[in-house]
Structure 1
Amino acid sequence: MKIGTFAAAALAGAVMAGCQATRQPATMAFSAEEAAFINKPGNGVVTGHAFRTKPSGAVVNAAGEVVRLIPATAFTRERFANLYGKRKYIPHSAYPRDDEVDPAYARYTRTTKAESNGRFVFEKVAPGTYFLTTQVIWGDEAAFSREGGSVYDSVTLTGKETEPVQVILSGN
């Protein structure tokens, strides 16, 4: 039985290393000027629900997790393409461990916390295209591997919306 456990751990490590090795280095530099629209006044409202569905069909909400609203710039488009590929979900085991980002990037990001039911709201959002991202993780924090991961989606506000724009962050 120990051989099977060792083989499973080795396979998991190889998979994680493979996921990290396929990430492309950034070619775009972060541009504060291009991201500045996030700090402009706006009347837009973005509401959403962040969750993942377990293989059993049970829904896990992103209760208390930080939700990020990030301007869709050339830098962030490349970053999200490198992190997520063509998916809208990264398993927890494939998170980048050595991800260095320009410190200014965080200053041009808005955050809120998801409520216990996974719902969140961003108010006074300026027109523009944004990425929204959070994580939905479950399982024992001390375990070798946890389940769930990071989810994202994008949204565009034109400034002409009369109702909140709704976003589902489920990884689908």
Structure 2
Amino acid sequence: MRSAALCVALAPLALSACNSAAPEMRFDPAEAAFIRQEGKATIEGQAFLRDQQGKMNVRYAAGEVVRLIPATAYAQARFSHFYGKRKFIAALFMPTPTQDAEYAAYTRTTKAGATGRFTFDKVAPGRYFVATQLTWVPKGGLLSEGGAMYDEVVVTGKETDPIEVVLSGN
């Protein structure tokens, strides 16, 4: 009964978050063109979250899409709008934003492996956002847990070792 009451109480907040519109700004492909260049850097990482049920239980982003997004003015405005000053949005408050097709065409994607590990190779110099999401409904639960997360990476082109990224909601 408490879960149902919580659902009813939080529903307006969840719906308002889902209806959040992206900022009114135009995407400039020229600003993101560097992602289409072949570089020498490698970005490696792991995406996971701690389960709220058992603080020591880790859920890996196995099979989840991980995105490499040029940190253009448009992307920065989107991330700022949706995430604010955080690098994590809880599943209950994750928006379902519309996405400019041209913006999507200037991103790279990969899938995380069984332990949430992912790799982007031949990355050109530039500033990027690395983003993914991981959600689940706990056994016997009604509400999704997990959420969306990102981090920021700068590639200088002088790297000799892979750049390591941890997406963990922190």
Fold match, TM over 0.5? yes
Aligned to 1:48: 45
CA displacement 1:13-39 (0-9 Å, x = unmatched): 022135357x56513211111011000
Write out the 4+ residue segments of structure 1 that deviate beyond 4 Å after TM superposition.
none
Q: Work out whether 1:153 is the aligned partner of 2:151.
A: yes
Which one of 100, 103, 118 corresponds to residue 102 of structure 1?
Answer: 100
TM-score, normalised with respect to structure 2? 0.90
Aligned counterparts of 1:20 and 1:138: Cα–Cα separation in 2 = 17
Aligned pair count reads 168
Matches within 5 A, 1:19-38: 19-20=17-18, 23=20, 25-38=22-35
CA displacement 1:52-102 (0-9 Å, x = unmatched): 1123221111001110000000000000001111111111121213x2221
Aligned to 1:13: 11
Aligned counterparts of 1:5 and 1:164: Cα–Cα separation in 2 = 45
Distance 1:144 1:5, change over 3 A: closer
User: The residue matched to 1:42 in structure 2 has which SS?
Assistant: coil
Unaligned ranges ≥5, structure 1: none
Per-residue deviation, 1:6: 4.5
TM-score, normalised with respect to structure 1? 0.89
Per-residue deviation, 1:149: 0.8
